[in-house]
Amino acid sequence: MNDVMLQCHNLVKVYREGPQDLTVLDQLSLEVRAGERVAIVGTSGSGKTTLLNLLGGLDSPSSGDVRIAGKSLLGLSETAKGTFRNRHIGFVYQFHHLLAEFTAIENVAMPLIIRGQTRAQAKVRAVELLGQVGMQARGEHKPGELSGGERQRVAIARALVTDPSLVLMDEPTGNLDQTTAANILRLMDGIAENSKSAFVIVTHDPALAAHQDRILHLDNGRLTQTP
Ligand SMILES: Nc1ncnc2c1ncn2[C@@H]1O[C@H](COP(=O)(O)OP(=O)(O)O)[C@@H](O)[C@H]1O
Ligand SMILES: [Mg+2]
C-alpha cells in the first residue's frame, strides 16, 4: 500500500493569452500512494480543473512531469497516452461528458470495449457497475433522458468500470442537490473501501472532502495540507 501511484514534481502551467501570461500552477508537487484518497479544494479559478487535466494526461504542463504507476506521461504520443489512460485512470469530468447517442450501459461499457473486451463481456460488467450506483433500472436510457444526478452516477460507473488504479474526479457532486450528493458520497465510500484505487477528488463539498484521507488546498498555484 506504500507504493507511489501518482507523482508530480515542480509542475508549472502557464496559459498564454496575448501579451499576458497566466501562471495557474507554479512549481506544484504532489504524491499520492496506492489506495490513498486525497481531496483538493480551492476557490473558483484556482486551477483545480487544470491540475486534474494534467494529472490525467488530458493536457500537458508548461514544465515539470507527471508520473503514474512509475511511468512518465511526458513524451508519450496522444495515442499512447490514450491507451495508458484507458489502462490506469478513471476520470469523472466536471460536466459528465457522456456520449449523448449511446445508452447508459453503452457509455459505461465503452472503456472496456476500447480495451478489447467483447461487447457481451463489457455489457455484463457495465450492468453490474450501474447496479452499484443504483442505476440498474436506467441502463437502456440515453443521457438526455436522465437527471443531472443520474448522469453523474453513470459517469462515476464509467470511471470505475475498468478497476483503475487511479481515479480522478472533478467536482463529482458539484451540480447535484444535497440528497443526491449524499447518496453518491455513500456510494463512493463503499466503492473506495472495496477497491485499491487511489482517488484524487476536486470538490467544494465539505462532506466529500472530509471523507478523504487528506485535504489539500490549491492556492497561488501550489498545494498545502490542512493541519
Ligand atoms: N484553456 C485555457 N486558456 C486560458 N486560460 C485558462 C484555460 N483554462 C483555464 N484557464 C484559466 O486558468 C485559471 C484556472 O482555471 P481552472 O483550472 O478551470 O480553475 P478551477 O477548476 O479551480 O475553477 C482560470 O483563471 C481560468 O480562466
Ligand atoms: Mg473546475
The domain spans of the chain are 35-61+83-225
Averaged over 189-210, what is the pLDDT? 85
Q: Tell me if 174 sits within 8 A of 203, measured CB to CB.
A: yes
CA distance 83 to 90: 12
Output the nine-digit C-alpha cell for 21: 501570461
Nearest to 167 by CA among 46, 34, 2: 34
Q: Which residue has the higher pLDDT, 96 or 22?
A: 22
Question: What residue has cell string 484556482?
Answer: 46
Which ligand is the nearest neighbour of the Cα of 24? Answer: 1
CA of 62 to the centre of ligand 1 (A): 14
Q: What is the pLDDT of residue 32?
A: 97
Residue 17 neighbours by CB under 8 Å, 6+ apart: none
pLDDT band at 1 (very low <50, low <70, confident <90, very high): very low
Ligand 1 pocket test: pick from 24, 53, 94, 168 the residue with the most ligand atoms within 8 Å of its Cβ: 24
| Any atom of ligand 1 within 6 Å of the Cβ of 82 | no
Superfamily of domain 35-61+83-225: P-loop containing nucleotide triphosphate hydrolases (3.40.50.300)
| Any atom of ligand 1 within 6 Å of the Cβ of 24 | yes
Q: What residue owns the CA closest to ligand 1's atom 3?
A: 15
Nearest to 45 by CA among 196, 158, 192, 202: 202
Share of the chain above pLDDT 70, in %: 99
Q: Which residue has the higher pLDDT, 163 or 110?
A: 110
Longest dimension (CA), the chain: 53
Which ligand is the nearest neighbour of the Cα of 170? Answer: 2
Ligand 1 pocket test: pick from 13, 14, 22 the residue with the most ligand atoms within 8 Å of its Cβ: 22
Helix ranges restricted to H, the chain: 48-55, 78-88, 104-114, 119-132, 148-160, 178-194, 206-210
CA distance 97 to 65: 26
| Any atom of ligand 1 within 6 Å of the Cβ of 219 | no
Q: What residue owns the CA closest to ligand 1's atom 6?
A: 15
Q: Give the pLDDT confidence of 94-150 residue by residue, as tens digits.
A: 877 899 999 999 999 999 999 999 999 999 999 999 998 889 999 999 999 999 889
